Amino acid sequence: MSKLPEKYLSLIDVSLSVFLPGDEDGDLPVGEMMAYSLKNGGKRIRPVLTLEFCRLCGGSPEKALPFACALEYIHTYSLIHDDLPCMDNDDFRRGQPSSHKKFGEANALLAGDALLTRAFGILAEAELPPYFIVRAVDALADAAGAFGMIGGQYLDLAGENKSLSVDDLRRIDELKTGALIKCACLLGCIAADADIDSIDAAEAYAENLGVAFQIVDDILDVTADEDYLGKPVGSDEKNGKNTYVTLLGLEGAAAQAEKYTADALNALDFFGDRASDLKQFTRSLLERAK
């Protein structure tokens, strides 16, 4: 079991709550809806990566917390919207009723919008030089928008019930899943004012990890049970989605996950022994499918 999340999880969870609106803000009902999904578990992979890359590049992880939390707000909003009836129509997320089942479809939409909007306010509150914050806003906007996650979601929906190639699928996954993972690593580098070589290594790592992570998710959608996933399994097939499993079979998909994980690990060699915990964490993400 990787030790890396243990270093940061309590710090992340406390900070996520700090940035939520409270009684004094006069919008407690919206805050409750935001908190419901934000606090509903999750591995916190993206904020962990932000803090760890900040450390690897010589910065203080605590200074990067607003960047890490802003990213998790974006990720959480995307999950709320993914579960909506107009998207994947999933009734459960992490073992609990999805936001739209708990609060209604319109309120779930608003909760997601509120998390998305708040994320950029959190970035602005970071105790870092203004230039770092501007770079972070630019990076997160690109990763979450039409050139990243939203663009990938569009391509994913457009590809339902159509025949796609592995290259097509990789492009979707690089945007839909990989863009935020890459941004997580980049935000850590920005917070530490990393040099270009460190940024290049972080991005090479992230690009491979993002694809490997999505392949493992594709495998789990076929092989895992609902108690493990905390949400319905088989939704990809139900929605006519192309996945690495449908294109390559379970063995072929597993081999690709191994390949991309190995490439991600190779990229971390740049950081030497400092990356040993991150390497263990990366291997643990692959082992979710074993």
Question: What digits encode the pLDDT tens for the residues 65-104?
Answer: 999 999 999 999 999 998 888 888 888 887 888 889 888 8
CA dihedral 249, 251, 253, 258 (to 10 degrees): 180
Whole-angstrom CA distances from 87 to 29, 100, 238, 249, 266 are: 24, 12, 12, 25, 36
**How far is residue 227's CA from residue 60's CA, in Å, rounded to a whole number?**
37
Take residue 120 and report the two structure tokens written for it: 């950029």
For 260, which DSSP code? H
Q: Across residues 264-289, what is the average pLDDT?
A: 93
**How far is residue 100's CA from residue 33's CA, in Å, rounded to a whole number?**
10
What are 93's strand-pairing partners?
A: 96
CA dihedral 243, 244, 247, 249 (to 10 degrees): -120
Q: Across residues 237-242, what is the average pLDDT?
A: 69
Considering 15-19, 199-203, 286-290, the range whose residues carry the highest mean pLDDT is 199-203
Take residue 142 and report the two structure tokens written for it: 């690109």
For residues 278 and 185, the answer to whether their CB atoms sit within 8 Å is no
For residues 154 and 175, the answer to whether their CB atoms sit within 8 Å is no
Count how many domains the chain has.
1
CATH assignment at residue 218: 1.10.600.10
* Helix or strand holding residue 92 (H, E): strand 92-93
The residue range of the domain holding 34 is 4-289
31-61 residue pLDDT tens: 889 988 998 878 899 999 999 999 999 999 9
pLDDT at 42: 80
* Phi, psi (degrees; rounded to nearest 5) at 93: -145, 120
pLDDT band at 1 (very low <50, low <70, confident <90, very high): very low
Percentage of residues in the chain having pLDDT higher than 90: 70
Which one-letter amino acid corresponds to residue 249?
Answer: G
**How far is residue 8's CA from residue 48's CA, in Å, rounded to a whole number?**
6
pTM: 0.92
pLDDT band at 226 (very low <50, low <70, confident <90, very high): low
**How far is residue 37's CA from residue 90's CA, in Å, rounded to a whole number?**
14
